[in-house]
Structure formats: structure tokens, C-alpha cells
Structure 1
């Protein structure tokens, strides 16, 4: 039998889809990612299921929408009964490891109810989103929350850097004229180089640890989730990447005066957040966006280094590589900072799949503009590993990408992609006077039109073909009434189609249907 491929699942935190050379950015340098796109399929219309780290990742790892798995925001535990990628791959003989970030909050109450010890072998997997935590690092370590024994902190001290939390004081801070740390948490310092040498930076270290995992994995097939923390803030790049780009290299913000003068109420509330106020200033963008771009080019360099390592190990032809992100970054577009809402800079993600095997030759080097969702990766990995995702259709809500990767004709590919937001924890909710369970929003797109439903507020509608910048809201346009009705109906149907019966397969339901009398249960008999 043919050995199933290794699976290298690379995620970059907060990487916009349009900030790659292969996706059309005119000035950013991403030669290694671009080369991988030429070796595989570049899915150019991929969407995350929730434009925030935690819920997006839980959808990536479960293959289910946030409305189904319930971990709707950062810090909301993933229920102990939810299956994740490791639960599908380990029975197929895979070692499933993690290097980097998951942003998963474990279900302590559920584990206690089941008497599951978090330090037991099973408890560790449940606590770590189904991954073997080869090295987990969620990457947000301000001094008041820092763990001095964080492996990366220990590593930095071994390299001669001092301090209780060198993640902050060295890797994510610059240096003032008198040698004092200038914290990367303050965006005014983003144009300065981080105090850490590039070879000791977080991105370099994470890549090294991925190589360590691959070196140790041996001959058994493995899946490695390599989850980079950058280019997520703090926007602090080491030399020479801090100075690789300048204001002349950044694209103008996609926004209009009309958006600020006549905003949608929910969007207006998000415009009032501190990060949005700051990113609305050109001075801020001219410092932060070049640093963001530098972090992406640094990431690209280390992905190239990892690809060379895989080739040197003789694994190039046996390793499927996926490059994606959990969500984007507004960077001042639409007068917004951060993510969370559904404009393209926030909700659309890169999705490049490289299958080096002969069966994928038909799609090699192509761009595929069919709608793809983050939840598609679990069924895809399951199929690539030799399983059959169709037997899991009572649980998984994504669709396997394997037919698209193989260049097969798929007549019934999805018509719509969906995303959702739970902004109960954000100041916008209080500004709007909403109760926690009212701060919900949902997006549906058919690729041409994008419709956003807000609880308690009017919807939004954008024509992505004629208005790719999503400047003009057409929700109240009489000529768009039919389109609006179609997308409302699609969203309602999506709500009704959630996979809620997860403990028994559809095949078993089919087998049992109408067999009560055969099994001696004679209800209704005369």
C-alpha cells in the first residue's frame, strides 16, 4: 500500500490574503510562499468562519462552524465532547503535533465533570485541542501575564538575553537612546528594530522547533500544525526586516468619507474602538504597515528555510503543505483596526495547498476561485490520510478539497460561504446597549454579493464585482431587493442545516430506518 503523506499545516496569525505576492500585492516580497503557490493550488476565495483568533481556530480544528462548536470568542472553552483534527488522524496512524499557537481554552468544567485529569495522556490531548503539544506558545505575554519558564523565554536567556520576560523586553521591544526597552505594545515604536537578533526571533525559533519535530517524527506519517504568531501584533520586526519597507510601499487605505459620515451603527461602534481610532491616522499606518509587511517577508524567509529542510530530508514528495491564516487585519481600511467584522481584509484568508504527488498534477500552479472555508481542512486532511470524510458527514460541516486538488470536475460545489461574529466582549456592545446574547452578526457571500445580518440592526449588502472595496452599502437599494432576499434565505437555510446530531452517523440512521418491527418493537400493530 502507498504510504499516506505527511501533513504540514502552516497557519500565520492575522495574515491578510492580499498581502502576498501571489495574491497580487504590488510591493511585498514573498518569493517562497509564491513558489509554493506555483507548486500547488491557490484558493483565492477562502473565508474564515469567525474573524477572531479563538473561534476561527476552533472551526479550523473541528471542521465545524462556531455556531455548532460553541467556542464563539477568545477565552470561550471548546466543549470537551468536540472532536478535533487529532481525533480523526490518530486512528489512521498519524502523529499529530503542535508547534506554536492554538488560542484554545480548555473546558475545565467539562473535564471535572467527567473526572478527566488534565495531566493524564488523554487529558493533555483534550486540553491542547487534540494536538500533542510539542511546543505550544500562544504568543501574548505582557509582563503581568508572562510565564518566566515559557520555553521561548528560557531559550532567549540561554542566548544571553536578560530579564524575566525577554519575549516582551527583547523579542517584542525596541531599544531607546539610553538602552531602555521601548515596548512593541506601543505602535509608535513599530518602525524600530526589535532588540532580538533575527536568528533568535520568535519566527526563527518556531521554525527551528518545527524542524526538531520533523527530525524526531521518524518513518510514521505525521501531521504538524505549525502555527506562527506573527504578523499578529505587537508589530515589532527584527533587523533587517523592520526597515525593508517604507511608506512608499504601502497601499492607500480602502475607505471613504461617506463610510465615516453615514456609518452602519455596528460598524460605527467598532470605529470608536481605540485601535480603529489610531489606525485611522496616516501617521500610524505609515509606521505599522511597513513593520507588518516586514514580518510577513520574514515569515516567508523561514517558510522557505523549512521547505529546503524538508527537501534535504527527502520528504518533499511525501509532504502535503497547507499555508493559511486564522483571519486578516484591517490596518485602517474602512476606518477600522484589528479584525472581527466581515470586510475582505478581515474575513478572507489565504489558502494554498501543495500536494506533491502525481494525482494533483492537473491543478498544479492554478488559482481556484471557488468558495472555500476554513472548515474544509479537517475533511481534506482526513481524506489525504486515507480516511473517508463522507462517513463523518453527521459531524463535519466542511467539504473535502481533495477533488479540487486533483483537478476533478465537481458539479455541486458550494454556492455560499459563511462567517459569524460574537462581539459580546467588545466595547461596541456596550456602546450599542446590547445584552451579551444580542451582540451577534452573520455573513454570507456567493462570491459576487456579500450580505451581513446584525441582530437588532439593519443588514449590509455589498456588490464585490462592482465595488471590491466594499464602500457602498446597497442593503436599502430597491434594485437589490431580490439579491438581498436570496442571501437572507441562504443564511436561514444555513441556520437550519447545522450538524447537531453528532453521536450517530447518517449511515447508521439509514440502516435503522423502518426496522422497528424487524427488531421486535411492534408499536402500531393490530
Structure 2
């Protein structure tokens, strides 16, 4: 009798795979690498042309305030697929293996147990470049290589599927801007350069804020390979931005092949399509390239969600999303999986299904960083109006910005007395978040947050 009860418990624990699997939506997750939120023409950027990302935005819901969990590939992707903030599970840097205890509870295995066919193509980077076949609950259809990835994904979509599928398509571009900055050949083919008079201009926040955290400049000196741009001229930066946008356009064309296949196979009626990136790029703002720093261009990422039947198509949403832990929670929600204990992501499924810009979601989200091959740690806490940034060391390590009037982060309000109460409130929020996620302080008597 006891054995029978155990069998019945197992059946109900994974009910979606046994009861009404046809009602579960397919989920297609398209992830680029190093694409900032503003690098899409549907965001009003006239320096880049992204017709296929725009098609997704026209068919779905566009979030303006989605942020990566961590502005570095490995940590960001680890958060997406484990549901934890990367630092609390020892994955704060690239090239760190996932602990065995996390592997079996990772998203692919949860989805597979819930009745999904789980398939992965392209960049993985947690910690191997490609997804190991079968190791995280996914069957692999293509390695870490943008060439041929769209075609492999299309071939998968053209197959007959006896159960709902969860397809992840991980593109590398526009990450090739890293090789460009190092004067190397681009891994997936060099691009023809535009003439100089067609290069985009410099961003309005090209200059460094005089009260910016000085640890950022220090980190540049530590890692020349990542930041060979320290002595760029204005025209060097214009050329950089031109190539960056061309790389975005290149990956947009690849995404178009997948969107065409969704059209051709008539998959919109029962498929959730989510498009995002693991983090952004400095793009010359504050003279910064690459990631790691907590500038808006680095942590604010694209997020477009297309619902079955293209419900609420064309809507734009202002709510705050952590495109790491919240993604994990959302996919679990669509699959009918209860969020595992100890996870704190908030599903954005109710947001997109209601599509009310006034709907309350969560009071703040946090991105955290450990500089790639560097020493500094930092946190960016975003509320609806403000962004609070804290680094663990250095001059002006504390920053506060009005994201309505100063999205370019040029006026650090943390040094102004009249914003004192707002500063204190954001310190309290971050302290609350640090406790929830077990952030270790420097010493019991030395708190990372001032005056805590």
C-alpha cells in the first residue's frame, strides 16, 4: 500500500506530463550575447535596423526595464537555468562548473520531468562553451557556433513533436565585438565596414560622470585584453559602435530564419517565444566597452515575450524584470512546475497575460557583478524611479540616478543632501536583498552598505 501511495505521489508531482500535456505551450527561448536593450530599432534606435526583433515586438510584449542578473555570460546564464543568483551558488565568474547538486535541479531537468522535450542549440557557457548532450536535461542540436544554428533550429521546428517542446537557441553575436576590439578576426566571419561618414555619432553620455566610481577606471587597467579601448579617439568609438550595430543586424537576420519557421509551421497558436540577451555592452557610453560594470547599457537587456495566439501583441511594459531568476520562475509557471524551495524569482507570466502597464509586479530588482578577471564587486538596485549602484571599494563607490530624467547616468545624486532619504531607502532595499541572498559581508563590523 505504501509503495502504491509513493507511485501516486510521483504521478501527481509531474502531473503536466501525464494529464493534459497538449494544454502546455511550447516554449522557444532565443538568447543573444552582449546585446544592450537599446540596440533594436523597435526601441527607437535609428542607428541599427532589426526587422526580425521588431517582428517579435509587434507580435508580443516589449519590456523596457528588464535587467540581467549579472553582467557576465557565465553568471547570467547560470542564473537563468538554476533560478539562483549566481553569486549565492558560487558561479560569480566565467568558466566555473555547476555543482552536482544544482545540475539535477536545473531548468532542463525540471522541464523534462514536467513532460517537455528539451532541446538546446548554440552558446551555453556554464561552464563549457556548448551544451553537453543530455547533461542538463537537454538534447543538443548544434554546438556553440552561430553558423548553422538557425538552420538546425528550423529543422527541429519542422519535425513532428508528440509532446510540448522547450527549445533554447543561444546566439553568440553581437559578442564578436570583443574580438573586434582586440583587433582579431571575428569568429563567425568579418563584416564589411561602412564608410566613416556612415558611422553613428557618439552617445550623449559619452563622457565620464565626474562622480563616477573610480574603481571602474582601476578595473580597466587590470584587464587590457578586455578593455583595449582606454585610449580610443572619438572616431575609434564611432567605428566601434558601427561594427557593434552591424553585428546586431547580423544576428537579427539569423533570428529571422527562426521567426519565418514559426510562421510556416503555424506555431504561434500554442507557443511562448521569449527573446533576450545575457547582458549588454558599454557601446562607448562613459568610454566603456564590454560588460561587468553596472552602467545602464551593460545591465539593461532586451526582453520580448510573445504569447500563444499573439495575445496582447504590440504592448510595451515598464515593470522591472530580472532576466535570470524571473525567467526561471516564468518558464516553471508556464510548465505547471511549482518553484523549488529557496528560489525567489517572480514569474512575469501574469504580467504579459494581463498586459496592464499599471500592474504592480515587484518593488525592485538587483543585478550583481564581479568584474571579469578583476577584483571589484558591485550591485545595481533598480526601483521604478531610481537606480542605486554600490561597489565594494573605492572613491564614489555609491551612486544614485534618476532613471526618468537621467537614464544616461550623468548626475550622481548620492552626493546631494536633498536626496538623502531616497538614498537611505535604497540602502535599506539592498540590505534586505543581501540578507535574502546570503551576501557575505567584509567583516561583522564592516558592512558593504554604508552606515548599515
- TM bin, normalised by shorter chain, reads 0.7 to 0.9
Deviation at 1:408, TM superposition (A): 6.1
1:11 to 31, 38, 42: 31
Deviations 1:318-376 (Å, cap 9, x if unpaired)? 2221110000011221121111011111000000000133xx63x32100000011121
1:421 corresponds in structure 2 to: 369
1:376 to 326, 348, 362: 326
Answer yes or no: is the 8 Å Cα contact 1:396–1:499 preserved in 2: no
Deviation at 1:255, TM superposition (A): 3.5
Which structure 1 residue ranges, 5 or more long, are not aligned?
A: 107-118, 140-201, 430-438, 501-526
2:314 corresponds in structure 1 to: 365
- Specify whether residues 447 and 244 from structure 1 end up closer, same or farther in structure 2 by C-alpha distance, changes over 3 A only: farther
SS in 1 for 2:362: coil
Deviation at 1:468, TM superposition (A): 1.3
Deviation at 1:424, TM superposition (A): 6.9
SS in 1 for 2:413: coil
1:461 aligns to 2:390 (yes or no): no
Answer yes or no: is the 8 Å Cα contact 1:78–1:104 preserved in 2: yes
Deviation at 1:265, TM superposition (A): 2.0
Deviation at 1:282, TM superposition (A): 2.3
Answer yes or no: is the 8 Å Cα contact 1:48–1:347 preserved in 2: yes
> Which sits farther off after the overlay, 300-309 or 34-43?
300-309
Which whole-Å CA distance do the structure 2 matches of 1:488 and 1:99 have between them? 41
SS in 2 for 1:77: coil
- Specify whether residues 74 and 27 from structure 1 end up closer, same or farther in structure 2 by C-alpha distance, changes over 3 A only: same
1:301 corresponds in structure 2 to: 253
TM-score of the superposed pair, with normalisation by structure 1 = 0.71
Paired residues for 1:118-133 under 5 Å? 125-126=134-135, 129-133=136-140
1:400 corresponds in structure 2 to: 347
- Specify whether residues 241 and 309 from structure 1 end up closer, same or farther in structure 2 by C-alpha distance, changes over 3 A only: farther
SS in 1 for 2:410: coil
2:151 corresponds in structure 1 to: 208
SS in 2 for 1:475: helix
Deviation at 1:124, TM superposition (A): 5.3
Answer yes or no: is the 8 Å Cα contact 2:57–2:314 preserved in 1: yes
Answer yes or no: is the 8 Å Cα contact 2:351–2:359 preserved in 1: no
Question: Considering only aligned residues, what root-mean-square deviation do their CA atoms show, in Å?
Answer: 2.7
Which whole-Å CA distance do the structure 2 matches of 1:6 and 1:262 have between them? 48
Answer yes or no: is the 8 Å Cα contact 1:39–1:356 preserved in 2: no
Which structure 2 residue ranges, 5 or more long, are not aligned?
A: 1-19, 181-185, 440-452
1:278 corresponds in structure 2 to: 229
TM-score of the superposed pair, with normalisation by structure 2 = 0.81
Deviation at 1:217, TM superposition (A): 5.7
Deviations 1:399-433 (Å, cap 9, x if unpaired)? 1111111116686520101011123722xx3xxxx
2:118 corresponds in structure 1 to: 96
- Pair member with larger Rg: 1
Deviations 1:264-290 (Å, cap 9, x if unpaired)? 221221343535452642232233322
1:511 corresponds in structure 2 to: none
2:11 corresponds in structure 1 to: none
Which whole-Å CA distance do the structure 1 matches of 2:194 and 2:314 have between them? 28
1:339 to 274, 277, 291: 291
Aligned length: 401
1:227 aligns to 2:175 (yes or no): no
SS in 1 for 2:109: helix
Which whole-Å CA distance do the structure 1 matches of 2:165 and 2:228 have between them? 45
